[in-house]
Amino acid sequence: MVLLYTAKVILLTGLRFIQNMENFTRFTGDKAAQYQHVLAQATQICAHENNLIAVMANLTAVLNQQFGWLWTGFYLVDQAANSLVLGPFQGPLACTRIPFGKGVCGTAWAEARSIVVPDVHAFPGHIACSALSNSEVVVPCLDTAGQVKAVLDIDSDELNGFTDEDAAYLEQLCALLQDKF
């Protein structure tokens, strides 16, 4: 009887979560408050789904709905090809593969660190997937062993669209994926 009751509570909690996801509304406030809203939503997404691609897809949707950037997406590490391969994203068409150490994404992977680029046109070796992109932030996603398994790439059509504050909050978001790899 207790087991049946527990299963019913879990099912109802899950259904409430799904209903809340369908009703995501953009949060207004300062940048820190917006990121706190996104992180709370991201925590719920990660807690209720184990499939990495599904989680990444919903995280890009939440970020896109909240901030409306030009492009938001993940690139996954393909060790065999020594490149990043396009994963879930929101925005215009994207580069399908990025070589290790090339462009902002490949550099963030090679150096295992977040990179904020105020003006992509001034970044040596920038790979222009979209001519509309003017600034970018890339955050590595690490597994539990500290190895880069993906990068979160976000582009803005504005110059100086990102700061170290953005990178710090996005690092928190990527840390939620750690046990999904």
Tens-place pLDDT, residues 95-122: 999 999 999 999 999 999 999 999 999 9
Residue 19 predicted with pLDDT over 80 = no
pLDDT of 42 above 70: yes
Tally of structural domains, the chain: 1
Instruction: Kindly report the CATH number assigned to the domain that includes residue 36.
Output: 3.30.450.40
pLDDT at 125: 86
pLDDT at 7 over 60: no
pTM of the predicted structure, to 2 decimals: 0.87
Quote the pLDDT of residue 23. 66
Amino acid 20: pLDDT: 55
pLDDT recorded at residue 73: 98
What stretch of H or E contains 81? Answer: none
pLDDT of residue 32: 96
Mean pLDDT of 172-176: 98
DSSP strand pairing (83-90 vs 148-156)? unpaired
45-55 per-position pLDDT tens digit = 999 999 999 99
Supply the DSSP string of 91-155, one letter for each residue. Answer: SS---SEEETT-HHHHHHHHHTS-EEES-GGGSTT---S-TT--EEEEEEEE-TTS-EEEEEEEE
147 lies in which domain range? 2-180
Which DSSP symbol is given to 165? H
Mean pLDDT for 17-31 is 71
Give per-residue pLDDT as tens, 120-164: 999 988 888 888 999 999 999 999 999 999 999 999 999 999 999
The chain-wide mean pLDDT, for the chain, equals 90
Convert 84-106 to b/e letters by CB count within 10 Å (16 or more is b).
bebbbbbbeebbeebebebbbbb
Instruction: Please give the C-alpha separations between residue 125 and each of 16, 66, 104, in angstroms, as whole numbers.
Output: 46, 30, 8
Show the tokens assigned to 49: 């789904």
- Read off the pLDDT band of 27 (50, 70, 90): confident
Contact of 39 with 21, CB cutoff 8 Å: no
What does the pLDDT read at residue 11? 45
Asked if pLDDT for residue 21 goes beyond 60, the answer is no
Q: What is the tens place of the pLDDT at every residue in 82-100?
A: 999 999 999 999 999 999 9
Q: How far is CA 97 from CA 16, 81, 92, 118, in A?
A: 38, 9, 15, 23
